[in-house]
Amino acid sequence: MPDAAVHIRGVRKQFTQTIRALENIDLDVAPGEFVCLLGPSGCGKSTLLNVIAGFIAPDEGTVEAFGKPVRAPGPERAMVFQEYALFPWMTVFENIAFGLEIKRANGIAPTVERLLDKLSLKGFSDRFPKDLSGGMRQRVAIARALAIESPMLLMDEPFGALDALTRRSMQDDLLRIWSELKRTIVFVTHGIDESVYLADRVVVMTYRPGTVKRIVEIPLPRPRDPGSPEFARTVRELTALVQEEQRRHEREEFS
């Protein structure tokens, strides 16, 4: 069996006496899989993603990516943030080429041109981020992550700041790229709908401590129709899980 893209066992991360951000996390992500981390604000989604990225070291437990222990950020795990992910003083072209220049790769221009095309950014290579829409900026950020050919994209609510229509078209772009390029994606969201639209599996997390409550498979064929009864049923199932967790937390916090 090939190495898992992500292999996590017994991970714990406590920030303060009271804030147990992650506890007892076990998670495996297969190569090429699209996994969403779902849960309310503050449940530890970003912390878990940052542990996978190597930005945060867990207090306990093991984290491996593609069979190697994660000790620091690495080029095989590219992070895409919600905002501020671009260098404002660089053009679109320079932003996308940034990682390539570090790697001193040959043929920077063809690679960048191909990505501009793939992400519908043709003709915008000389623009600066401030002269782009939110959706276009996020497409540049994704292009940059793809440029360095990371086998894994780690995405922290990347479409959270976009309006609903732009978000849907970005989701479609991402799914198209994912199926063409066969990357592994770990995608953080608090949107139940978004997780059902995107993921092979949804990891539902609990709040304080942040644990894995349930891992739900989404067996719906793609492209998925948010108007279909199967889609609605899956959204209801996940909503019930999230609400159950919210009630549990309220009882605990206010009793």
Indicate the residue among 100 and 203 with the shorter CB distance to Mg ion. Answer: 203
Select 21 or 29, whichever has its Cβ closest to ligand ADP.
Answer: 21
Among 17, 41, 106, 255, binds ligand ADP (CB under 6 A): 41
How many other CB atoms sit within 10 Å of the CB of residue 240?
10
Q: Which is nearer to ligand ADP, 38 or 136 (CB)?
A: 38
Largest CA distance in the chain: 62
Residue with smaller CB distance to ligand ADP, 32 or 160: 160
Binding of ligand ADP by 36 (CB under 6 A):
no
Q: Is 58 in the site for ligand ADP (CB under 6 A)?
A: no
Tokens of 127: 């623009």
What lies within 8 Å, CB to CB, of 231 at 6+ separation is 196, 197, 220, 224, 225
What minimum distance in Å lies between the beta carbon of 140 and ligand ADP? 23
47, interface contact from ligand ADP, Mg ion, none, CB < 5-8 Å by kind: ligand ADP
Part of the chain binding Mg ion (CB under 5 A), chosen from 43-51, 110-118, 204-212, 237-245: 43-51
List 11, 44, 46, 234, residue binding Mg ion (CB under 5 A)? 46
What's the rounded Cα separation, in Å, for the pair 120 and 118?
Answer: 6
Q: Which is nearer to ligand ADP, 39 or 58 (CB)?
A: 39
Range in contact with ligand ADP (rule: CB under 6 A) among 12-20, 63-71, 84-92, 230-238: 12-20
By CB under 6 A, is residue 15 in contact with ligand ADP?
A: yes
Binding residues for ligand ADP, rule CB under 6 A, total: 12
Omega before residue 226 within 30° of 0, cis: no
Q: Please, is 208 exposed, middle or buried when counting C-beta atoms within 10 Å of its C-beta (0-12, 13-18, 19+)?
A: middle
Q: Which ranges of the chain would DSSP assign to H, the alpha helix?
A: 45-53, 92-102, 108-118, 134-147, 164-181, 192-198, 229-254
Is 188 or 196 the residue whose CB approaches ligand ADP more closely? 188
Pairing relationship of beta strands 60-65 and 6-14 according to DSSP bridges: antiparallel
123 secondary structure, DSSP code: T
The residues of the shown chain that bind ligand ADP, judged by CB under 6 A, are 15-16, 19, 21, 39, 41-47
